[in-house]
Amino acid sequence: MLSYRHAFHAGNFADVIKHSVLVHVLDYMTRKDKGFHYIDSHAGAGMYQLQDDYAQKTNEYKAGIAKLINEQDLPELLQTYVDLIKALNPSDTLDLYPGSPGIAKRFMRRQDSSHLFELHPTDIQHLTDFSHRWKKVFIKQSDGYQGVLGLLPPPSRRGVVLIDPPYELKDDYQKAVTTIIKAYKKFSTGTYILWYPVVKRALVEQMANSFVNSEIKNLVQIEFCLSADTDEYGMTGTGLFIVNPPWQLAKQMDKTLPYLKAKIGNENSTFKVEQLIVE
């Protein structure tokens, strides 16, 4: 299935969680001069137009990034993320929102390289156009799960892997976890970020149990839910499993998530930061 288009959801509350963490991780990686690999299993289009028909049809960004863009009292982790979005939108209108490749591009240096995988025929073309003149970026229209495993370990022994599937198929939940477990065996010092939607709690619990029963060490789980779990259709929350996170990430999220509940959540919203597996 290739029906999912992130353009409908760009800049929503789930993107705020996912991309603020990605910004923090990439910023942390650039604090050392040695180069690193950025590997994105489901890269999408690279950049999204918030004023086009896709985004305007759902207006999800208005309940996400739009509520933060003009705030003055942002926690440090959110400030870095919002500053990046502002740099893309120098006027007063919120026109552009970056996908994960758009964020990565802002951090890549001459010594770093990016490897982007995308299967959707329209998005791969948008991604290719977006990456024009981006040096040391490699784009493939192929299976991102296999693509990740084929690139590990990177020559630099430094890397960030983002696995962000659309979860159109239930198999994606376990397939994403299995990919990271296999990747960890090849490259145990890499930082792995796995995004997931909270649609059916049992699927998230299965993911967590698979990680706990693996050989992986140092795994943090971050979750932000707008409403309680339900058997009805739709995403109630979002989360990340992060292997080998920057050492201050959990502390930063302890400050960030309560702020996000106040700004983009409601009285029924919940959040957590949990060291699921110790180092």
Catalytic residues: 164
Contacts of 231 (CB under 8 A, 6+ apart): 200
* Cα–Cα distance measured from residue 100 to residue 40, given in angstroms and rounded to the nearest whole number: 8
Contacts of 211 (CB under 8 A, 6+ apart): 177, 180, 181, 219, 241, 276, 277
> What is the dihedral sign for C-alpha 194, 195, 198, 200?
negative
* Cα–Cα distance measured from residue 174 to residue 179, given in angstroms and rounded to the nearest whole number: 9
Q: Which two tokens stand for residue 173?
A: 């939940």
Which 3 state secondary structure label does DSSP give 85? helix
Q: Within its chain, how far is the Cα of 241 from the centroid? A: 10
Q: Exposed, middle or buried by CB within 10 Å (0-12, 13-18, 19+), for 55?
A: buried
